[in-house]
Amino acid sequence: MNDVIHATLLNLQTSAGASAGESLDPWKLIADASFVVKLVMIVLALMAVGSWFIMGAKAVRLAQARGRSRRFLDAFWSKTEGESWTTERIEALYASVKSYEGSPIAAVFRAGYVELARVMSGPSANAGDVDNVDRALDRAATSEMTAIETMLPFLATTGSTAPFIGLFGTVWGIMNAFMNISQQASASLDVVAPGIAEALIATAIGLAAAIPAVMAYNFFIRRIQVLESEVHAFERDFLNIVRRHFLRG
């Protein structure tokens, strides 16, 4: 009986020593993974690459929108003491609006000016036409903010689904690992470890794709909310100027 126990312990030590001597290479595990696990990893890698591209594009776009909007607001509100709004002044602003391309506030001003010019060129411009200018401003603001929010849902989708896709790959990999155990009739580390490690790589890739996507999505949403509040504040200010100086009735 003692001989049997000794032989069993010797086999376990030999198996553990062989497993310890052979390190598990992640790249080799990925290359040797099953088709389903490889497909999961490819999908997650594509989602991660797409997320990073969107993060870079949105960071540049929001920085551009914020910087040029501030420049436009400085130009819009700059005036000497006692100077009032005149047709010449607002026309000069409209003529320079192309230099603020990328600013949602400048785009809203352009839409409001075009509608104001159309109303004032009519035979009977009056205070009731302010509603037309208001609608033009609202349409432009909605269009600009929708364009800025484009592709952000992909970050939200990546953040919410990537961990589950990775988990699916892990479950599939562990299932294959147990099938290999049953086929080889052995539960030694050199049989179990590669399959488990391969399966866990899928979860790791899923988390690596999801965590930056969630953080970036929350950051961009906050920046967009601030920008949207500035756009709406400009709408109200522009309408007040139109009421007081151009469509008094």
* Low-confidence spans in the chain with pLDDT less than 70: 1-24, 79-83, 123-128, 184-194, 249
CA atoms of 35 and 31, how far apart (whole Å): 10
CA atoms of 246 and 249, how far apart (whole Å): 9
Residue 19 placed within a domain: no
* Residue numbers of the domain that contains 139: 26-245
Residue 121 placed within a domain: yes
Residue 5 placed within a domain: no
Scan for tokens 């007081």, then name that residue.
Answer: 244
Residue 89 placed within a domain: yes
What was the pLDDT predicted at 125?
61
Residue 218 placed within a domain: yes
Whether 51 and 216 have beta carbons less than 8 Å apart is answered as yes
Residue 12 placed within a domain: no
Residue 6 placed within a domain: no
**What one-character-per-residue DSSP string does 2-53 give?**
HHHHHHHHHHHHHHHHHHHHS---HHHHHHTS-HHHHHHHHHHHHHHHHHHH
Written as one letter, the residue type at 146 is T
Residue 9 placed within a domain: no
Scan for tokens 């269009």, then name that residue.
Answer: 143
The pTM of this model reads 0.80
Q: Which tens digits make up the pLDDT trace of 153-198?
A: 999 999 999 999 999 988 888 888 777 777 766 656 666 666 777 7
Structural domains of the chain, count: 1
